[in-house]
Structure 1
Amino acid sequence: MSNMSEVLSSILPPAPVCAARVLAAEDGGAVTVQIGETARMAECRVLATGGEAVALCAGDDVLVWLADASGGRGVVIGKIVPYAQPDAITAPAERAARPPKLVLEAQGDIVLRNGGARLTLGRDGDVELACKRFTARGHRLLELLAPMIKLN
């Protein structure tokens, strides 16, 4: 055996991952779950994945990693929810209901911001695009029309 993880895996039984149901969730982070259809219960903490915090309440179905063989403590890996088809593709009927032209008007500047990208339409007519990378694609012709063009 070449490393410590192989030694430990040969000595320790594998920690089970199983479905559970939340019995109680406290503000301090402790979640009590019932393991599967058994009478076993476990005190768990909730895994933070960097996104929004998972809101758990009694009756929620969760996936739990049990830290010890007795199943007395563990970690809630995630909440089990019904699958919902993503609406990435817009139905033709929904697309047809959209207006053919959208006009945004303001007395001051209009700013569109998403992550590290920003598009500012200034009230004085200036347009500023701030981003990490800019790509322009044209199927036929890409024109820059100005009395002066500055590249740095």
Structure 2
Amino acid sequence: MRWRAAVPELPALTDPAAICAERLLLLVHYDLDWDSWIGDHRHRYWDELLPARVRAATYRADSLATWWSLLAQALPITVSDRARRLEVAQLLTEPSAPVLTLLRDQLPALILRVRIIAETVADDRRAAAESAGRKG
């Protein structure tokens, strides 16, 4: 996943369930509609909103498909890119129990990883935009 590659110093996960959980959380983050209500709550996103919504969906779901559906109802998720839709569909066919268990037991650690990746990608994009602005 291209976002994950932005942080080469972050140790790669090796457990398939952990990889799936991280990828799903990255897709949730990158497919949020920031122009909706959530954009007004950015200051609470990482520490409150995302963990609470993910945790609630995780405890209510018995499958990854149900988890995604519950989360899509709780957050303004819009998967508009065809490649991302395909990736979500593929990930939702992974064995659910190990991924849901990890999301229940290791959610703060998984969100920490996703936050590190997302902040690094945002910094890289900002730097690239500033560099392009200076050239043009």
TM-score normalised by the chain length of structure 1: 0.16
* Structure ranking higher in strand proportion: 1
User: Which of the two has higher C-alpha Rg?
Assistant: 1
* Structure ranking higher in helix proportion: 2
Relative contact order, higher structure (CA 8 A, sep 6+): 2
